[in-house]
A = this chain, B = another copy of it.
Amino acid sequence: MALLETSKHCQGSVLGSVNPDLGSERQTASFSVERLTALLDGGAEQTQIRRAVVEAIESDPVFSRENQYFQTQNERYEAAVRKAVHLQKKMHEMGWTENGPEYKYIYRALSGDVAFLLHRVFMRSISVLGSDRQIAKWIPLATQHKLIGSYAQTELGHGTYLQGLETTAVFDTAAQEFILNTPKISAMKWWPGDMGRSATHTVVFAQLYIHGKCYGIHPFIVQIRSLQDHSLCPGITAGDIGPKMNFEHTDNGYLMLKNVRVPRENMLSKFCEVRPDGTYVRQGSQQINYFTMTTVRISLISDEVLIPLKKACTIAIRYSVVRRQSKLKPGEQEVKILDYQTQQEKLLPQLAAAYAFHFTNEYLQELFDRGYREIQRKNFDMLPELHALSSGFKAVITQHCTAGVEICLRACGGHGYSLLSGLPSLYTKILASCIYEGENTILLLQTARFLIKCFMAASAGQPVPPSVTYLAAVKHGKCPAKNKLDFLSPDIYTEAYQHVAVRLTSSTATKLQDLIQSGVKKHDAWNQCTVQLVQAAKAHCHYIAVKNFAETVEKLETKAGIQKIMKHLCDLFALHGIFSNTGAFLHDGYTSAAQVDMVTAAYLDLLAVIRKDAVPLVDAFDFTDQSLNSALGSYDGQVYQRLYEWAQKSPTNQMSPAYERYLKPLLHNTLSKL
């Protein structure tokens, strides 16, 4: 059931014969890998389009990532710019357009290893925040790359709390210009991608002052580098912020402004305008803006979070059937490490989570499409719920997947630690997703605020959004499971998750009220509950993820073994969550200790079941060898050969001046062979 011929998955000089220890795993798949791939892609046609894009990109040597692990930050940056420029040509050549069906697969096919991503954010911000006139002026220039844009919001001393930004834009009525300044070092723009070395323009967020009065944060288009020789414009100090844990290919930059003047027309003015006389006019609704933020959080889940986890699972699971270590039974051959219960317990829950969150992502996408349609009809009712879900799931999924990638890395022992395994860079990159686009703890607290509000409303009999109606229906029963098989019933475990989410929300709401009633000030009371509020928000998202997975499985076709294997994964995802967090389920006696033991037994049983299909389940993700870029995870499982051949190409195998300079003088006394 292999998707592509083996030869396509090969890299370098390794022969294409599949390692029998890996090959045998594919013989016994209980389901059709090809059908599961199509399900994940959203249909066989999508699979076809995706593969065509991948084929076109990977067969073009300009897009090669072969030497990536050997390159310096400077080389990575240069390669990313080269690829970004070449991509324009490629798209033209292939007839791909930004609105075409291929577009969404390009980034995946490049593994995100390309420059000018912020150029797109620059364009999006103008489209969303700019007037029609501004759009008409700037978007064509940007589309034709007559400028390179960036997006400068975060400052050295200010991230999440936008109101705290310190950059100023003072309106000069006489000159009809804004004067932008960085009043102190903490106000320096810091982190904007593409700004360190590439961008000619950027959207700067600054506090708007008119006649000495502050009107809050507004966006301004500012040119930072000459279009002729790329030198910095007058008043501009800019550069690269230096080495990071990953994203070597991106020139994250800094920017200081000293009396930089831009014309009045450069303030993006769809929602707010400064008239020539300095009159400040607010127009239209900014709610759509709020919606944009939530869309970004959802859109990053697939490419930046799920794909890395899927890749890490592919690498670690393929490696774990090729690697043999120790004997289970004396006298027999050494055992595939995936046959150890402890190894299964590390990897298979990550695999289940990858599938669970894949379906969560589809659920969120649908919800957002619906929300978007409502908003276009000027109905903003769904916004608070969408914001709460996008915030909570951004945090929960990034956290879970980051931990998952780390587990995969560690489960591969020493070889997982080699950059050539691909796992370190997957980890160091996905880690950033816990921080950018809203720091996770802050996002979870936003979800919690929504939950508390809805819980109060529900308790008072008021209507609440669909995803939280369950908060109104507090049940005081007990979990009805009588044996371990009962815990393979989605109703049983979904109810248990629901019960925990309600309990954590209601008990924290009570604590909050008690504190306030005892005289603690509201903001202090909130702060004193935040650890528990975070727990409640996580429980809410976990519940929805489990419920959605179970409902998705219910609707799957029963053919080709798909529903059955997905049901196993859903059970594993749910039971693993209970097993790793038994306190939450035991706390009020909803689940008894005997039932927790049943969960443990059912969970451990499932590991052995899913282990049999582990390789086909990662094959279904359909990653090519090039996109995995891993000496451990290749389709043919020739791990040791690859590690060796690859290592030989490392720059660390070139002559080092250390010998002549230090080693030779040290050894100089010694004569010939000892």
Q: A residues touching B (Cβ–Cβ < 8 Å)?
A: 69-70, 72-74, 77-78, 81-82, 84-85, 88, 141, 144-148, 154, 156-161, 164, 185-186, 188, 190-191, 196-198, 200, 223, 226-228, 230, 239-245, 251, 254, 323-330, 334, 339-343, 345-346, 406, 410, 413-414, 416-420, 424, 428, 431-432, 434-436, 439, 441, 445, 521, 523-524, 527-532, 534, 581-589, 593, 596, 600, 604, 640-641, 643-644, 646-654, 656-659, 661-667, 669-674
Q: For residue A330, which residue of chain B has the nearest CB?
A: B523
Q: Whole-angstrom distance from the CB of A290 to the nearest CB of chain B? A: 18
Determine if A435 and B410 form an interchain contact, defined as CB atoms under 8 angstroms apart: yes
Contact A534 B342 (CB under 8 A): yes
Residues in B with CB closer than 8 Å to A593 are: 586-589
| Distance from A222 Cβ to chain B, minimum over Cβ atoms (Å) | 12
Q: Let me know if A241 and B647 touch, CB within 8 A.
A: yes
Q: Are B241 and A325 in touch, CB under 8 angstroms?
A: no
Given contacts A82-B658, A197-B658, A244-B424, 11 further A-B contacts (CB under 8 A): A74-B652, A141-B674, A156-B644, A164-B326, A188-B640, A190-B643, A223-B674, A230-B663, A242-B419, A582-B587, A588-B593
Inter-chain contact A239/B648, CB cutoff 8 Å: yes
Evaluate contact between A245 and B663: CB separation under 8 angstroms: no
A664: which B residues are within 8 A, CB to CB? 230
Contact indicator B410/A436 (Cβ below 8 Å): no
Nearest CB on B from A663, distance (A): 6
B227 in contact with A671 (CB, 8 Å): yes
| B435 touching A242, Cβ below 8 Å | no
The answer to whether B640 and A674 touch across the interface, beta carbons within 8 angstroms, is no
Which residues of B are found within 8 Å of A663, using beta-carbon distances?
81, 85, 148, 198, 230
Say whether B582 contacts A245, CB under 8 Å. no
Q: How many Å lie between the Cα of A604 and that of B671 in the bound state?
A: 67
* Chain B hits for A669, CB < 8 A: 144, 146
A251 partner residues in chain B, CB cutoff 8 A: 652
CB atoms of B652 and A73 under 8 A apart: yes
Q: Are A410 and B428 in contact (CB under 8 A)?
A: no
Q: Which residues of B contact A644 (CB under 8 A)?
A: 156, 185, 188, 254
Taking CB atoms, residues of chain B closer than 8 Å to A671 are: 227
In contact, A652 and B531 (Cβ under 8 angstroms) = no
| Chain B residues whose C-beta falls within 8 Å of the C-beta of A673 in the assembled complex | 223, 226-227
**A652 with B81, Cβ < 8 A, contacts A227-B670, A531-B342 known:** no
Q: Is the CB of B410 within 8 A of A431?
A: yes
A529 contact set on B, CB distance < 8 A: 341
Report whether B82 and A341 are in contact in the complex, using a CB–CB cutoff of 8 Å. Answer: no
**A672 engages B228 (CB within 8 Å):** yes
7 tightest A-B contacts by CB?
A582-B583, A242-B650, A583-B583, A240-B652, A243-B419, A245-B424, A146-B670
Q: What is the CB-to-nearest-CB distance from A59 to chain B, in angstroms, rounded to a whole number?
A: 21
**Chain B hits for A147, CB < 8 A:** 667, 670, 674
Assuming the contacts A156-B643, A410-B434, asked whether A334 and B654 have C-beta atoms less than 8 A apart, the reply is no
Cα A382 to Cα B406 in complex, Å, equals 36
In the complex, A107 Cα to B589 Cα: how many Å? 53
* Known A241-B647, A326-B161, A417-B432; contact A527-B85, beta-carbon cutoff 8 A: no
Given A145-B666, A157-B640, A656-B78, A420-B243 contact (CB < 8 Å):
yes
Task: Give A528 to B341 CA distance when docked, in angstroms.
Answer: 6
A649 to B603, CA, bound (A): 53
> When chains A and B are docked, how far (Å) is the Cα of A379 from the Cα of B34?
63
* C-alpha spacing A641/B157, complex, angstroms: 11
Q: Contacts A146-B670, A159-B414 known; A524 to B583 CB distance under 8 Å? A: no
Contact A641 B73 (CB under 8 A): no
Q: Counting chain B CB atoms within 10 Å of each CB, which of A144, A323, A596, A674 scores highest?
A: A674
Task: Let me know if B239 and A325 touch, CB within 8 A.
Answer: no
B414 contacts A436, C-beta separation under 8 Å: yes
**Minimum CB distance partner of A197 in chain B:** B656
